[in-house]
Amino acid sequence: MRDVAVISFAQAKNVRDAGAVNEVEIIMPVVAEAIAQSGLARSEIDFTCSGSSDYLQGAPFAFVMALDGAGAWPPISESHVEMDAAWALYESWVKIQSGHADSALIYGFSKASSGKLREVLNLQLDPYCVAPLGIDSVSLAALQARALLEKSAYSEKDFAEVAVRNRANAKNNPKAQLAGDYSVDEILAEPCLVSPLRKHDCAPISDGASVIVIAAGDIARRVCKRPAWIRGIDHRIEPHSLGARDLTVSASTRLAAEKAGVNQGPIDIAELHAPFTHQELILRDALQLKDDVEINPSGGALAGNPMMTAGLSRIGEAASRIISGQANRGVAHATSGPCLQQNLVCVLEGE
């Protein structure tokens, strides 16, 4: 296996509505910032891979337009995943492992404000028997939350505690969309949005973009004082049928964590892509995180959840704390699909 590290991370400010700017205008300054910070020139980066969804953009092959933001001249080696860009990072990591590249630029973006996100996400469901019912992403998450309350010792108070901590952590994140001081009692006094979930249990709808640069061994050491080495990375998926899964646990996260070697060493920080508070509890258990692990120092997806890149941002947030020396070994997680259907786990470590 080749040593590969995250050497740079940048993200746009997460906002509810980026207004009249287009995707290219959102991406471009973030790409420029990440490249400048990486210490590599654009021409020195071998591979480019992005994550986005045409359904969010409302145009076919919309990711091709976004290339304007990444700089594709002289012609570049490029790929795209119709998934969170955390999976674009995985593809890039595989590309480097295969010896076909030594460095890669990964970006993800979305402007959910262009459409109605809850309706768009309905279309990822089984088109014959589930999608026509019109059930949306928040309702499905609520179904999962209810199952968790019934089956486990967790209560709505535990959900609220997750919200309080993430919102408070987000105060130190200048890119956060939602941050602030709340109390558990305050949150529990609020009405349910979709029972048992309250507004604070749900990630906001966000426009945004994030960018990571990764590089192999010597290149990473040359340009970065303290690279965040990817010690393990794995992703697993569960059946499409919601009825075929136990929604109260995350078997795919547990398996990916085992393959990535999460518990082969002490973990300082975890950045978990949990768009709903109860999902953070499920993920914590699946990853078997100890009580002393600092979870979502950035505020997590509850602080800002740009689709197709909030997962990549979790890797970036964990990596940047290792690069800066604040943490030594961290785990980052990304999710895709309804109710944590697909999960990616990445273990990062300093030297």
Indicate whether 64 belongs to the interface with other proteins (CB under 8 A). no
Per CB under 8 A, which region of 61-69, 174-182, 268-276, 337-345 contacts other proteins?
Answer: 61-69
Indicate whether 58 belongs to the interface with other proteins (CB under 8 A). yes
Question: Residue from 55, 87, 90, 276 that binds other proteins (CB under 8 A)?
Answer: 55
Residue 47 CA to residue 214 CA, distance in Å, equals 10
Instruction: Give the burial class of 191: count Cβ atoms within 10 A of its Cβ; 0-12 exposed, 13-18 middle, 19 or more buried.
Output: exposed
Q: Which is nearer to other proteins, 122 or 252 (CB)?
A: 122
Give residue for tokens 């995943």: 81
Indicate whether 22 belongs to the interface with other proteins (CB under 8 A). yes
Question: Residue from 5, 28, 267, 301 that binds other proteins (CB under 8 A)?
Answer: 28
Q: Which is nearer to other proteins, 64 or 189 (CB)?
A: 64
> Which 86-125 positions form the footprint of other proteins (CB under 8 A)?
111, 113-116, 119-120, 123
Q: Which is nearer to other proteins, 58 or 266 (CB)?
A: 58
Question: Residue from 33, 68, 78, 158 that binds other proteins (CB under 8 A)?
Answer: 68
In the complex, what is the shortest distance from the CB of residue 46 to other proteins, in angstroms, rounded to a whole number? 16
Q: Which is nearer to other proteins, 92 or 173 (CB)?
A: 92
Instruction: Give the burial class of 311: count Cβ atoms within 10 A of its Cβ; 0-12 exposed, 13-18 middle, 19 or more buried.
Output: buried
Q: Which is nearer to other proteins, 70 or 141 (CB)?
A: 70
Indicate whether 126 belongs to the interface with other proteins (CB under 8 A). no
Residue 240 CA to residue 341 CA, distance in Å, equals 7
In the complex, what is the shortest distance from the CB of residue 339 to other proteins, in angstroms, rounded to a whole number? 21
Residues binding other proteins: number (CB under 8 A): 33
Question: Residue from 71, 196, 217, 261 that binds other proteins (CB under 8 A)?
Answer: 71
In the complex, what is the shortest distance from the CB of residue 20 to other proteins, in angstroms, rounded to a whole number? 5
In the complex, what is the shortest distance from the CB of residue 241 to other proteins, in angstroms, rounded to a whole number? 17
In the complex, what is the shortest distance from the CB of residue 58 to other proteins, in angstroms, rounded to a whole number? 3
Q: Which is nearer to other proteins, 44 or 294 (CB)?
A: 44
Question: Residue from 3, 13, 32, 97 that binds other proteins (CB under 8 A)?
Answer: 32
Q: Which is nearer to other proteins, 32 or 184 (CB)?
A: 32
Indicate whether 33 belongs to the interface with other proteins (CB under 8 A). no
In the complex, what is the shortest distance from the CB of residue 63 to other proteins, in angstroms, rounded to a whole number? 14
Give residue for tokens 């287009």: 22
Q: Say how many C-beta atoms besides its own lie within 10 A of residue 33's C-beta.
A: 16
**Binding positions for other proteins, rule: CB under 8 A:** 19-22, 24-25, 28-29, 31-32, 42, 55, 58-59, 67-73, 111, 113-116, 119-120, 123, 127-128, 131-132
